Structure 1
Amino acid sequence: MINSNRTRSFLKLPIVIAMATAGLAAQQASAHGYIESPKSRAFMCHSDGGALNKNCGAATYEPQSTEYIGRPNESGFSHFPSNAQACTGDFLQCGPANGTIPAGGLLRFSGLNEQTASRWTKVKVKPGPQNFTWHYTAGHATRYWQFYITKKDWNPNQPLTRDSFEKTPLLDQPWPSLTTPAPAMGKTHHTVTIPSDRSGYHVLLATWKVHDTDATFYQVVDMDIDNDTGIPSNWVTVGSVQPEALTIGDKVKTRVFNAKGELNAKQVVLDINSAELAKADVWPHELAKKVNAAKLGYQIGMLNDKDEVVPNYGQNNILVNKGSEIVNVMIAKEQAAKPGELSITGMQSEYTLKDGKVELHFNAIAKNGEYTVKATVFNAKGESVAFQQAPAGNTPHFSLPLNNVSAGDYDLVVVATSKKGEVLQQSARFTLKAEAGSGEGGNEGGNGGEGGAKYDYVFPNGLKSYKAGTVVLQPKDGKTYECKPGAVAGWCTQWTSGSNAYEPGVGFAWQSAWNAK
C-alpha cells in the first residue's frame, strides 16, 4: 500500500553545481537530464555512455528523456495509479505504473523496463558515501532529488515495482530555490550513502522532480556493490559479449590480446549455422560454452556466488584469472555476404506531356552494399532519350527531365553497380500521353512520389528550414510527410545519419513529429 500522507523529510546537504558545455552528440528537443556518474542504465545505452547496454530502443538516442508527465490519458504514458492527476507527490505516491519505472512510464522507452539478474551492465561501487552526478541538457526550476535503493531481499528477475525499493530514500535533497532552475548543460553532484548491509546486484532509482512542469525524470543505476563480505574473486574482466541478432552464415570470433599484441592461437570461432543459434540471446551462451571448454586462459559468462564462471543467455563478461598475460578480449563478427537488392518506387504508369516535356520523380533503393546508381530512359525504338547518374548514396531520389519527347511507351532502366562489381537492374514501363495537361516539373517542389504529391524538399535536403507545415518526400519509401504544428515542429529538424529517431517514415519516433500525407 502507498501512504499518500507520507511527509517528506529534506536532508540539508550541499549541492555542487559544475557548469559544462559538452553534451550528447545529438540532443533532442525533448532533452532534459540523466545520471552521468555512476553511469545509469539509460546512459550506458548511448554511445557517450560507452554503448555498454544494447537493444535499448529509444534510450539509445535519448537517455535524458525518461520523463513522467503526471496527466491522465496522455498518449504514450502509463500512470500509477490509473486515475492519476498531475503528479505533485514523490515516487511512492504517484508516477509511472509498477513495471514501467525505469522508462518513466513512457512506452517508447519500455526497453529499459526489462529486468533480469544479467540483462544490464553493472557499475562497481563500494558501500558508504558515493557521488552521483546528474547531467542536464535543459534546465528546470527544481523541487527535489530523491535516491532509492532496492531491498535486501529484492528479486532481480522480476520487473521493478515500488515494493522492490526501500520506502525511505537514501537521500531526499531539495533545491535551494524553487524559482532558480538547475543549470542547462550543467551538472549537480549528490552524496548518496550506499548501505553497508548491501552487496552484489542492487538497483538505485534516482528521481528529479521539477517545479515548472508536472514532470519527474527517472533514472536507474545498476550497481554491483563490492562489500568485501563474499568470497574474494580470482577473476578480472577483460571484455564483454553483447547480444544482437545474427544471420545464418555469420561467424563470431574471439580476438585475444596480451601486452605485445594479438594471440591468434587462442581464437575461438563459432559458426552461426541455424536460425536458433542466430538469436540474440542464444549464440552468446553457445560461444561461452565453446570458449570455456577450450581452456585457453579466458572464460565467458557471469560469476556466481562461488566465484565460478557460468555461461549466460544474453550479455556475458569475458574474464581471466588475476595475473594472466591476457589484457583484452574482443568479439568480432564476420557477416555472411548478402545478395544485393534494388527497387524502384514513386514511378507512375502514365504521365501527361506539356510542351513535349515531363519530369520523372522516383527513388532507386539499393541494399546490402555500396552502389553507383544510374538511370536511363528508352523509347519504343530502343533509343536512349535521358540519362542520369545519382550522387553517392544507396537511396537516391531522381528528378529526371524528359525534353522533346512524344507520346508512346517508354522504359526506365535503373542499374546499380557495387564496388565489388555486382550489377543489379530494375525496369519500369510507363506511357506518355499527348493530351495537353497540368503536370508540373520541379526540383525541390513539384510532382513527387506516387500520384504526383507535392512537397517542399526531398528529405533531408533543406533540413534546417523545416517548420510546421513543411512537406518532404522521403526517398526511402517514395511517400510524403508533413511536419506537425506546435512545439513538436522542432523535432522535424532533429536528424543526423547516426541519430534518426524523428526521420519521417523511418525513425522509431517519426509519428511524434510528422503526419503521413
Structure 2
Amino acid sequence: MRSHRSDQSGGRPRSTARRSLQALVLMFAMVVGTLPVTGAAQAHGTIINPATRAYQCWNTWGSQHTNPAMQQQDPMCWQAFQANPDTMWNWMSQLRDGLAGQYQPSTPDGQLCSNALSRNNSLNQPGAWKATTVSRNLTVQMYDQASHGADFFRVYVTKQGFNPATQKVGWGNLDLITTTGRYAPAQNISFNVSIPSSRSGSHVLFFIWKASHADQTYMWCSDIKI
C-alpha cells in the first residue's frame, strides 16, 4: 500500500498541501461572492461635482451605510439604501444601451433621475436631497473609471418654480442649457456650464452622457442650490 510521500524540502505531503490550496481557493471565492458588484464589467462613471444623487449617497454614507443617523440626517439617501443598496454601490453604472438618440421617447417623465432603470427608482423620489451650492458659472467634473470618452454631454436645468422637494423631474420641467462637443477617452473630464440668471434657489441639473465607445447612454440628476 503506497504511503504519502513528502516533498524534497521535507514539508507536508503533497495531498495535504493540495487540500489546503483547494480550501483557500474556495474561501476566496466565497469572499468575492459577498462583495458589491463593482468590478471591471460595472466600471463606468458619473458626475462627481455637483454630485449626482447616487454618488452623493455613496460618497457620504458608503462606509457607514448602516448608521441609523442617516435616517434623520439624510432621509433621501436613507430611503435609497433601504430600497436597493446596489443603486449606491454601483453609482457608476446607471446606463442603458441602444437608445439610438431617442432619449426623450425612451425615458418617461418621472424616471429621468434613474435613467428609467427600475432598480434605481429611489433616485426619482422627490424630497430633501442634499444639494451642492454652485455659482451661475460652474465647472462640472466627471469621473469615468473606464475612460470611455464622450460623444457629448447635454445639461438641463429645472425651470424656476420647480420644487425638487415635492416634484419628480419630467422633460417639461427642464431647459437645455449646454451641449458639449466630443471628449477623448480619459478618467477625468470637466466642462463649463452657465446657468441662466432667471434661476435661483433649489434646482436640479439633469445630465445626459453619450459614451463614445458604444451606443451607451447615461442619465443623472444632481441637486444644486444657486
Query: Quick check: TM above 0.5?
Result: yes
The question of 1:112 aligning with 2:112 is answered: no
Q: Distance in 1 between matches of 2:126 and 2:182?
A: 32
Task: Provide Cα deviations, 1:7-37, integer angstroms capped at 9, x if missing partner.
Answer: xxxxxxxxxxxxxxxxxx9733222111111
Q: Distance in 2 between matches of 1:200 and 1:172?
A: 23
Q: Counterpart of 2:138?
A: 130
1:194 positional shift: 1.7
2:167 aligned residue (158, 162, 165): 158
After superposition, where does 1:26-41 map in structure 2 within 5 Å?
27-28=38-39, 29-41=41-53
Q: Distance in 2 between matches of 1:144 and 1:42?
A: 22
Q: Which runs of 5+ in 1 are unaligned?
A: 1-24, 70-85, 226-517
Q: Distance in 2 between matches of 1:142 and 1:172?
A: 12
Q: Which runs of 5+ in 2 are unaligned?
A: 1-35, 62-73
SS in structure 1 of the partner of residue 87 of structure 2? helix
Contact map agreement 2:163 2:203 (CA 8 A) in 1: no
Q: Counterpart of 2:71?
A: none
SS in structure 2 of the partner of residue 43 of structure 1? helix
Aligned length: 171
Contact map agreement 2:113 2:220 (CA 8 A) in 1: yes
SS in structure 2 of the partner of residue 44 of structure 1? helix
Q: Distance in 1 between matches of 2:179 and 2:102?
A: 10
Higher helix share: 2
Write out the 4+ residue segments of structure 1 that deviate beyond 4 Å after TM superposition.
none
* Residue type of the alignment partner of 2:142: W
Contact map agreement 2:111 2:169 (CA 8 A) in 1: yes
Q: Distance in 2 between matches of 1:113 and 1:62?
A: 16
After superposition, where does 1:462-481 map in structure 2 within 5 Å?
none
Q: Distance in 1 between matches of 2:204 and 2:181?
A: 22
Q: Distance in 2 between matches of 1:68 and 1:115?
A: 23
Contact map agreement 2:46 2:55 (CA 8 A) in 1: yes
The question of 1:54 aligning with 2:65 is answered: no
Q: Counterpart of 1:63?
A: 91
Q: Distance in 2 between matches of 1:31 and 1:112?
A: 20
Q: Distance in 2 between matches of 1:33 and 1:67?
A: 10
SS in structure 2 of the partner of residue 95 of structure 1? coil
Q: Distance in 2 between matches of 1:191 and 1:141?
A: 17
Identity between Structure 1 and Structure 2 (%): 25
Q: Distance in 1 between matches of 2:51 and 2:37?
A: 18
Contact map agreement 1:36 1:135 (CA 8 A) in 2: yes
Q: Counterpart of 1:103?
A: 114
Task: Provide Cα deviations, 1:336-362, integer angstroms capped at 9, x if missing partner.
Answer: xxxxxxxxxxxxxxxxxxxxxxxxxxx
Contact map agreement 1:34 1:43 (CA 8 A) in 2: yes
1:141 positional shift: 4.7
* Residue type of the alignment partner of 1:154: F
1:59 positional shift: 2.1
* Residue type of the alignment partner of 2:88: T
Higher relative contact order (CA 8 A, sep 6+): 2
Q: Distance in 1 between matches of 2:130 and 2:222?
A: 10
Q: Counterpart of 1:206?
A: 207
1:202 positional shift: 0.3
Higher strand share: 1
SS in structure 1 of the partner of residue 122 of structure 2? helix
SS in structure 2 of the partner of residue 54 of structure 1? helix
SS in structure 2 of the partner of residue 110 of structure 1? helix
Q: Counterpart of 1:44?
A: 56
Q: Counterpart of 1:173?
A: 180
Contact map agreement 2:163 2:202 (CA 8 A) in 1: no
Q: Distance in 2 between matches of 1:200 and 1:174?
A: 29
Q: Distance in 2 between matches of 1:188 and 1:175?
A: 11
* Residue type of the alignment partner of 2:160: K
Contact map agreement 1:68 1:95 (CA 8 A) in 2: no
